[in-house]
Amino acid sequence: MYTLKNKYMKTIKNLALVLFVATLFTACSEDDPEVVNEEELITTLTATLRPSGGGTDIILKSVDLDGDGPDAPVISVSANLTVNTNYTGVLKVENETESPADDITIEVLEEDEEHQFFFTPTNNIATVSYNDMDEDGNPIGVQFSLATTTAASGSLTITLRHEPMKTASGVRNGDITNAGGETDVQAVFPITVQ
């Protein structure tokens, strides 16, 4: 009986060893992992400003092709703004790591109640108002108007908030202070009005 048990134990040990080696073996034959291209990545924010009296569009662009990577976004402003001019603005957010670029503005508009763009100018370079609204009658900001008065230079910050409290005080009028929510996009454009 004693030796029998001993044998039994040895079998268990051997079995365990075989199992262990087997797992080691299967482990080595694994393929390379699949690459992930981020689906919701926003790389590019483009604001197109069209002067009301005609003329060349002014393009404000922020491009960050490495997403959350270390490279800072590249900010560009195609031309200076003109004094006492009204501009009709359109915003576009895209994922340019895909080809063709994925237009994320469509998703923003599909869930327009959960999104709002905010325009924050400094040094009174311009005033911005909304030209669009969601189903609840609250602004979105994909369509907007921008008006300049006197010559000045400063910056225009464009922020896209996800799940803002659109009914909070001032938010409808474009004041971000009480908006809450999470920032999906934020770009600061240096602007000169002359």
Residues binding other proteins (CB under 8 A): 1, 5-6, 9, 12-13, 16-17, 19-20, 23-24, 27-28, 30, 32-36, 38-40, 42-45, 62-73, 97, 107-108, 110-111, 114, 118, 120, 122, 155, 157, 159, 161-163, 176-177, 180-188
Q: Would you say 49 or 185 has its CB closer to other proteins? A: 185
Asked if 72 contacts 43 with a C-beta cutoff of 8 angstroms, the reply is no
Q: Which is nearer to other proteins, 6 or 80 (CB)?
A: 6
Rounded Cα gap, residues 193 and 151, in angstroms = 5
CB of 21 to other proteins, least distance (A): 9
Rg of the chain (C-alpha set): 28
Omega of the bond leading into 100 within 30 degrees of 0 (cis): yes
| CA 160 to the chain's CA centroid | 7
Closer to other proteins by Cβ: residue 17 or 83: 17
Q: Nearest 5°: phi and psi at 24?
A: -60, -40
> 104: which residues sit within 8 A by CB, 6+ positions away?
40, 42, 93, 94, 95
CB of residue 51 to other proteins, shortest distance in Å: 25
Decide whether 111 or 192 has the Cβ nearer to other proteins. 111
CB of 52 to other proteins, least distance (A): 27
